[in-house]
Amino acid sequence: MLNKPITIAGGGLAGLSLAIGLRERGVPVLLHEAGRYPRHRVCGEFISGVKGSTLEALGIADDLADAERNGKAKWFREGDELLDSDMPEPALGISRYRLDQRLKERFLSLGGRLREGSRLGREPREGMVWAAGRLPKKGGWIGLKCHLQDFPMKSDLEMHLGANGYAGLTPVEDGRVNVCGLFKLDRSRKGRGSGLLLDYLRQGGSEELAERIESGRPDEESFLGVSGFELGWQGGDQSLCSLGDAEGMIPPFTGNGMSMAFESAELALDPLVRWSSGSAEWDASVSEIHRVAKSRFRRRVANAMALHKVLLDARGQRLISAISRTGLLPFRPLLSLVR
Ligand SMILES: Cc1cc2nc3c(=O)[nH]c(=O)nc-3n(C[C@H](O)[C@H](O)[C@H](O)COP(=O)(O)OP(=O)(O)OC[C@H]3O[C@@H](n4cnc5c(N)ncnc54)[C@H](O)[C@@H]3O)c2cc1C
């Protein structure tokens, strides 16, 4: 019997990697992406916590084989160094501009069908996976990102805490560094392009970082900003087969959102293949995907939301500074709470 086709709404990392994994298993896939490739995305562009076995299962390990390996991290608060630590596993650094384009090409080479510039409606229906990213909401956050063309790093990864948010820097391909910040939205902030990012950094007390970025030759073509979203569970309809950020968005400081997108695609593969081959009902497959996703991600999202509050709170930051001065900040145990 012929496999039934799957339609995917959203060609970000969850949608593209699921589409590739399904094509590898002989499932017909039609992917609708509202935007067009290649394109920059507001993202820190460091992938932390993903297992090689997940990338292999999805059939995308080769697409990440040449990503930068970033094994050391330094944390700062308003310019002062808090922590210098090794990551348990190196984080992968690659731009979304390159990665999403590569995954699109792999999907097409496997016979997948793609409609760019096509936006689907968010109604649950048999055979449709919703991987369209976080839900638009009146949120209190703004994410800003820009590539720097000439930026000497102080470590493989830099994370800067300020009074109004945080920003991470990581090397990506071609000698570029990506800077991406999440800040409390303040509509009185001025500035265009990277100037807006600098304004937010200065407002939060990261003057030295702002100066370094200013002289790091920001590539204005890569600058992007996004607001109107909330972190955490997106309050999804249980009858909708939602994956990745569409289901739940982990706070960005973890560097784990892209891993969660890949992991959620991986855990959806078997239930969707069973539906496609006619050996499972759609509703049963969707319930299984929700159940496995909740049990895998519930603890890490809850921990990350709690730590995110501490990181953005002045007293929380003072506490982190005080503990880090004693050299007793348990970086690895804290990191394991959000993996
Ligand atoms: C400021 C910030 C920094 C971050 N930094 C990091 C980091 O360093 N490391 C990390 O791992 N994660 C980071 N993340 C999170 C990471 O970007 C996401 O977790 C990841 O992109 C989720 O992938 P996704 O496929 O679920 O969603 P997305 O990548 O958002 O993809 C969704 C896609 O769906 C498309 N779409 C939307 N609506 C429709 C529709 N109706 N029909 C069809 N298509 C549609 C969109 O155009 C988009 O391409 C960060 C996020 C933010 C906001």
> What DSSP assignment string belongs to 127-180?
TEEE---SPP---SEEEEEEEESS---SSSEEEEEETTEEEEEEE-STT-EEEE
> What is the per-residue pLDDT across 91-122, written as a single tens digit (0 to 9) for each?
999 999 999 999 999 999 999 999 999 999 99
> What is the per-residue pLDDT across 254-304, written as a single tens digit (0 to 9) for each?
999 999 999 999 999 999 999 999 999 999 999 999 999 999 999 999 999
All structural domains of the chain with their residue ranges: 6-67+95-135+232-309, 141-229+313-337
Classify residue 136 as exposed, middle or buried by CB count within 10 Å of its CB (0-12, 13-18, 19+): exposed
For residues 224 and 196, give the distance between their C-alpha atoms in angstroms, rounded to a whole number. 10
Q: What are the residues facing 147 on neighbouring strands? A: 178, 219
Q: What are the residues facing 233 on neighbouring strands? A: 248
Q: 252 CB under 6 A from ligand 1?
A: yes
* Residue 112: both structure tokens together: 């997948």
Q: 132 CB under 6 A from ligand 1?
A: yes
> What is the per-residue pLDDT across 209-259, written as a single tens digit (0 to 9) for each?
999 999 999 999 999 999 989 999 997 788 999 999 999 999 999 999 999
Q: What is the DSSP secondary-structure string of 238-275?
A: TTSEE-GGGTEE--GGGS-HHHHHHHHHHHHHHHHHHH
Q: 73 CB under 6 A from ligand 1?
A: no
Give distance in angstroms: CA of 245 to centre of ligand 1.
6
| CA-35 nearest atom, ligand 1 | 47
| CA-249 nearest atom, ligand 1 | 19
| Angle between helical axes of 96-109 and 13-24 (0-180°, round to 10) | 20
Q: What's the fold here for domain 141-229+313-337?
A: D-Amino Acid Oxidase; Chain A, domain 2 (3.30.9)
Q: What's the fold here for domain 6-67+95-135+232-309?
A: FAD/NAD(P)-binding domain (3.50.50)
| CA-15 nearest atom, ligand 1 | 25
**Among 54, 258, 262, which residue has the most ligand 1 atoms within 8 Å of its CB, making it the best to mutate?**
258
| Bond from prior residue into 38 cis (ω within 30 degrees of 0) | yes
Whether the full predicted model's pTM is greater than 0.95, yes or no, is: yes
Give the CA dihedral 65, 66, 67, 69, nearest 10 degrees: 90
